[in-house]
A and B are shown apart, each in its own frame.
Chain A
Amino acid sequence: MERIFTMPEAMKPEQTLYCPGCGHGIIHRLVAELVDEFGIRERTIGIAPVGCSVFADKYWNFDVISAAHGRAPAVATGMKRGRPDSFVICYQGDGDLAAIGTAETIHAANRGEQFVTVFVNNAIYGMTGGQMAPTTLIGQRSMTCQLGRDAEIMGYPIRVCELLKDLPGVAFMARGSVDSPKNVLKTKKYLKKAFSNVIEGKGYSFVEIVSTCPTNWGMTPVKALEWLRESMLEHYELGVFRDRDAEK
């Protein structure tokens, strides 16, 4: 009998401890599948950020480093510059990338650093128990905006791709989602482009992935997917925001 579906070699045979309906498991797997497809597992270094994915090392079967909160792009810069033959995946959440680490994110992009950024946007702080994120939607409730996010007081949800796409150092920038098989496949396509860009030394490549956090959204996994489609995708438009190759 032919085996047509297996665990990627770049995943450890472990059950993830993420909550039911969380997007991290899918996204970890997409990353791992691509590491295998490009045959780069032995020179890949993943960054486990502060947040729920801080233990990504338990799932990824390649070298992993844990970075301080928000500092993953700086750590990635140091690793890639120090060891140019490595392949670095900078995996970050919304608080990490777009709040505490905004400066590191912008400047790594602006320098055109040669690593892949995987930005998981679920519009909330997961590990600390559901606080407002820089990407929390207007009206969305969280532990620290219990009456709903009010733009007058708390500002607006940041669209990171739209913010960064015009920096000359950016080679590729896209936003996908993991709410449906179709979008999962499309997201994988974006990630694949980001991986190949970095392997070919074309520059900073960034994929934002709109994802779910049923636990902290206070929803069932099914309801969370519905809310993602109805509310998140309204504000966070999917698609390619920058592709330097297509501009030529």
Chain B
Amino acid sequence: MSGKVLMKGNEAIGEAAVQAGCQCYFGYPITPQNELTAYMSKRMLEEGRVFIQSESEIAAINMCFGAAAVGVRTMTSSSGPGISLKQEGISYTAGAELPLFFVNVMRGGPGLGNIAPSQADYFQCTKGGGHGDYRVLVYAPSDVQEQYDYTMLGFDMADRYRIPVLLATDGILGQMMEPLVLNEYKDPGDLPSKAAWRLGDPATKEPLWTTSVYLGDGELEEHNLKLQRKYDEIVEKEVRFEETSVDDADIVMVAYGTSARVAKSAMEMARAEGIKVGLHRPITLWPFPEKRLGEIAGSVDNMLAVEMSLGQMWEDVRLASCGACRVHLHGRTAGGIPEEAAIVDQIKKIMSSKGDEIIRNF
């Protein structure tokens, strides 16, 4: 496949994975990501690669753990309830320093919730999700093209740092169709070799041991500090964001994914009315662009977090602001999608408010 096509987000993720050399896909059905599993069931077999519809999400992530351990590119995908089940395996993968790419096409929660688009897994995506001291690099695309491009980059980052990398998208982005340029996968050329640690390779002379268990006195602390140094490097090098009209703004919105698309329209509406609004769109949710957001907080009086969850990202924006400006919240939940007019109304309310008042839309 090549050139420009019209494609669903979920399928674009699948095709990008195939192009990036994913050898093993393991998944379990869950809405709203079923198009991805279905796409892989066909494409992976066409390519002579591995596709298994596993008996559970737990099995799927552990199959990934095994495939990653023998050094092949592997992925799984799910939505919130399934990602909750996978957290055990993600923690083990982080602990054992194995490369993994996985996708959360977010839906409404908690519990079985609903199948409407949502960003309510922000905490789960960015704050660990599983047990223990670890981090996951999280990309939050906002259109079909970015879902494709960040899938490819995600595989590279997983290999570069030997970590789990998450593509955090949602039911709208996964299921909508948009024109897509099928960019060819380009090997960065400087990814570290897997030869020293991949299991089952007869070329390796000494027996290898892949594990996340460190019971000796001080061993786990030493291991975790090693992981931390890697996370520090990621914070330093891998933060990504996009900004629109921030320089002259009196108020800056912070929004990612689907929310950022709505926020951008709201920004244009507000600007048409003469209100100077800017938009900061985090592309990496972890590492969060906290340094840049801290700078912005120092130059404006107000920021507004726009999200399809009830203040989960808002907490990170407030942390980044260090109290330098007021940080307000426009949050929708359980399938509710922010509306441009409602955002503009809230912005007007914020601009005319005084003192320390924090304004929420609910």
B50-58, B136-144, B224-232: which lies at the interface: B50-58
Query: For the complex, is A143 an interface residue (Cβ under 8 Å from B)?
Result: no
Chain B residues with CB under 8 Å of A77's CB are: 52, 59, 63, 66
User: Taking A45-B70, A75-B66, A78-B24 as contacts, is the C-beta distance between A68 and B209 under 8 angstroms?
Assistant: no
Chain B residues with CB under 8 Å of A79's CB are: 66-67, 69-70, 199-200
Decide if B207 touches A64 in the complex (CB within 8 Å): yes
Chain A residues with CB under 8 Å of B199's CB are: 45, 63, 65, 79, 83, 86
CB nearest neighbor in B for A61: B207
Decide if A68 touches B92 in the complex (CB within 8 Å): yes
Decide if A60 touches B207 in the complex (CB within 8 Å): yes
**CB under 8 Å from chain A, chain B span 58-90:** 58-60, 62-72, 74, 88-89
Decide if B200 touches A68 in the complex (CB within 8 Å): no
B4-12, B35-43, B148-156, B210-218: which lies at the interface: B210-218
Query: For the complex, is A235 an interface residue (Cβ under 8 Å from B)?
Result: no
Decide if A66 touches B59 in the complex (CB within 8 Å): no
| Assembly CA distance A240 to B54 (angstroms) | 29
Decide if B88 touches A74 in the complex (CB within 8 Å): no
Chain A residues with CB under 8 Å of B34's CB are: none
Query: For the complex, is B202 an interface residue (Cβ under 8 Å from A)?
Result: yes
User: What's the minimum C-beta distance from A107 to chain B, rounded to whole angstroms?
Assistant: 4
User: What's the minimum C-beta distance from B186 to chain A, rounded to whole angstroms?
Assistant: 23
Decide if B207 touches A63 in the complex (CB within 8 Å): yes
Query: For the complex, is A62 an interface residue (Cβ under 8 Å from B)?
Result: yes
User: What's the minimum C-beta distance from A137 to chain B, rounded to whole angstroms?
Assistant: 29
Query: For the complex, is A42 an interface residue (Cβ under 8 Å from B)?
Result: yes
Decide if B200 touches A86 in the complex (CB within 8 Å): yes
Query: For the complex, is B176 an interface residue (Cβ under 8 Å from A)?
Result: no
Decide if A83 touches B92 in the complex (CB within 8 Å): no
Q: Mark B13-30, 1 if CB is under 8 A from A, else 0.
A: 000000000011010000
Q: Mark A68-102, 1 if CB is under 8 A from B, else 0.
A: 10010011111111110111100000000000000
User: Taking A68-B89, A104-B59, A107-B54 as contacts, is the C-beta distance between A86 and B70 under 8 angstroms?
Assistant: yes
Query: For the complex, is A67 an interface residue (Cβ under 8 Å from B)?
Result: yes
Within 8 Å by CB of A63, from B56, B92, B208, lies B208
Decide if A64 touches B62 in the complex (CB within 8 Å): no
| Assembly CA distance A67 to B74 (angstroms) | 17
| Assembly CA distance A14 to B294 (angstroms) | 56
Chain A residues with CB under 8 Å of B26's CB are: 78
| Assembly CA distance A74 to B69 (angstroms) | 12
Decide if B200 touches A75 in the complex (CB within 8 Å): no
CB nearest neighbor in B for A78: B66
User: What's the minimum C-beta distance from B118 to chain A, rounded to whole angstroms?
Assistant: 28
| Assembly CA distance A68 to B211 (angstroms) | 10
Within 8 Å by CB of A62, from B23, B50, B207, lies B207
Chain A residues with CB under 8 Å of B96's CB are: 65-66
| Assembly CA distance A107 to B59 (angstroms) | 10
User: What's the minimum C-beta distance from B6 to chain A, rounded to whole angstroms?
Assistant: 33
User: Taking A61-B207, A71-B58 as contacts, is the C-beta distance between A83 and B202 under 8 angstroms?
Assistant: no
User: What's the minimum C-beta distance from A42 to chain B, rounded to whole angstroms?
Assistant: 4
| Assembly CA distance A142 to B145 (angstroms) | 58
Q: Mark A22-53, 1 if CB is under 8 A from B, else 0.
A: 00000000000000000000111100100000
Query: For the complex, is A57 an interface residue (Cβ under 8 Å from B)?
Result: yes
Chain A residues with CB under 8 Å of B55's CB are: 103-104, 106-107
User: Taking A43-B202, A74-B58 as contacts, is the C-beta distance between A82 and B67 under 8 angstroms?
Assistant: yes
User: Taking A45-B199, A82-B74, A103-B56 as contacts, is the C-beta distance between A68 and B62 under 8 angstroms?
Assistant: yes
User: Taking A42-B202, A68-B88, A74-B66 as contacts, is the C-beta distance between A83 and B207 under 8 angstroms?
Assistant: no
CB nearest neighbor in A for B210: A65
Query: For the complex, is A54 an interface residue (Cβ under 8 Å from B)?
Result: yes
User: Taking A63-B199, A63-B200, A86-B199 as contacts, is the C-beta distance between A78 and B62 under 8 angstroms?
Assistant: yes
**CB under 8 Å from chain A, chain B span 223-272:** none
Decide if B62 touches A75 in the complex (CB within 8 Å): yes
| Assembly CA distance A43 to B55 (angstroms) | 27
Decide if B63 touches A83 in the complex (CB within 8 Å): no
Chain A residues with CB under 8 Å of B59's CB are: 71, 74, 77, 103-104, 107
Within 8 Å by CB of A45, from B50, B68, B89, B200, lies B200
| Assembly CA distance A83 to B60 (angstroms) | 17
Chain A residues with CB under 8 Å of B52's CB are: 77, 81, 111
User: What's the minimum C-beta distance from A246 to chain B, rounded to whole angstroms?
Assistant: 29
Q: By CB atoms of chain B within 10 A, which of A57, A68, A76 has the most?
A: A68
Decide if B54 touches A74 in the complex (CB within 8 Å): yes
User: What's the minimum C-beta distance from A43 to chain B, rounded to whole angstroms?
Assistant: 5
15 new A-B contacts, CB < 8 A, other than A68-B62, A79-B200, are: A43-B201, A45-B199, A66-B96, A66-B209, A66-B213, A71-B65, A75-B62, A77-B66, A78-B66, A78-B67, A83-B70, A83-B200, A107-B54, A107-B55, A107-B59
Tell me the B residues contacting A by CB distance below 8 Å.
Answer: 23-24, 26, 50, 52, 54-56, 58-60, 62-72, 74, 88-89, 92, 96, 199-202, 204, 207-213
